[in-house]
């Protein structure tokens, strides 16, 4: 391994450690109360050293948010790869997204604040996540069309419509605001949307 490769690996590993430490502190004391000095202290380094890897606290916030949303998108991609009917995969995908987000944003309330701000302010990582999820959903819809489960339509547009219709079950602010509204349930709304695809 060359010196340059070793240096790149060390830099990558340090960035991961910074993000993991920030994530842990955000869960404990909240992202707004956590400072770069707190993160540096936990890692046994100076704040100036942290700034060698991230230019600002906002960059650290974005990296933590990207990691959280990346876990959801990875779970969705895993579901999309299953060899089961498309409707079953869409049901599993939206149920899993709702469960993961409920755990994070109602149990881990301090993380809720970070992701809610990211969504409200439309951070770049949110745009990337939405596009990635739309692509996963579009792939399932296209496969459902190829299998004869769904009628012929534009899979990308259908995915965007379905994803938008289901946002109440994934957007942290809407999940909290709608938690006292028993209907429509996720299953009711998804059944309605799937009927539009058939």
Contact (CB, 8 A) for 112 and 179: no
Per residue in 97-126, pLDDT (tens digit) is 998 888 776 677 777 777 777 777 777 888
The widest CA-to-CA distance across the chain, in whole angstroms, is 59
For the chain, the first-to-last Cα distance in angstroms comes to 54
Torsional sign, CA 114, 117, 121, 122: positive
Chain centroid to CA 134:
12
Per residue in 154-189, pLDDT (tens digit) is 999 999 999 999 988 887 777 777 778 888 888 999
Is 7 a residue whose pLDDT tops 90?
no
Contact (CB, 8 A) for 73 and 133: yes
Mean pLDDT of the chain: 88
Average pLDDT over residues 116-139: 86
- Residues counted in the chain: 198
């Amino acid at each position: 391994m060359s010196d340059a490769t070793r240096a790149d690996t060390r830099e990558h590993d340090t960035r991961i450690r910074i993000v993991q430490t920030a994530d842990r502190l955000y869960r404990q004391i909240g992202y707004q109360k956590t400072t770069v000095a707190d993160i540096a202290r936990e890692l046994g380094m100076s704040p100036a050293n942290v700034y060698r890897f991230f230019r600002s606290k906002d960059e650290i916030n974005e990296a933590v948010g990207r990691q959280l949303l990346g876990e959801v998108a990875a779970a969705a991609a895993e579901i999309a790869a299953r060899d089961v009917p498309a409707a079953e995969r869409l049901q599993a995908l939206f149920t899993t997204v709702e469960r993961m987000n409920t755990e994070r944003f109602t149990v881990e309330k301090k993380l809720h604040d970070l992701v809610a701000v990211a969504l409200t302010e439309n951070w770049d990582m949110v745009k990337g996540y939405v596009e990635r999820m739309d692509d996963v959903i579009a792939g399932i819809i296209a496969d459902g069309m190829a299998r004869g489960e769904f009628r012929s339509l534009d899979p990308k547009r259908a995915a965007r419509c379905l994803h938008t219709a289901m946002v109440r079950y994934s957007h942290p602010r809407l999940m909290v605001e709608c938690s006292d509204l028993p209907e429509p349930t996720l299953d009711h709304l998804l059944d309605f949307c799937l009927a539009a695809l058939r």
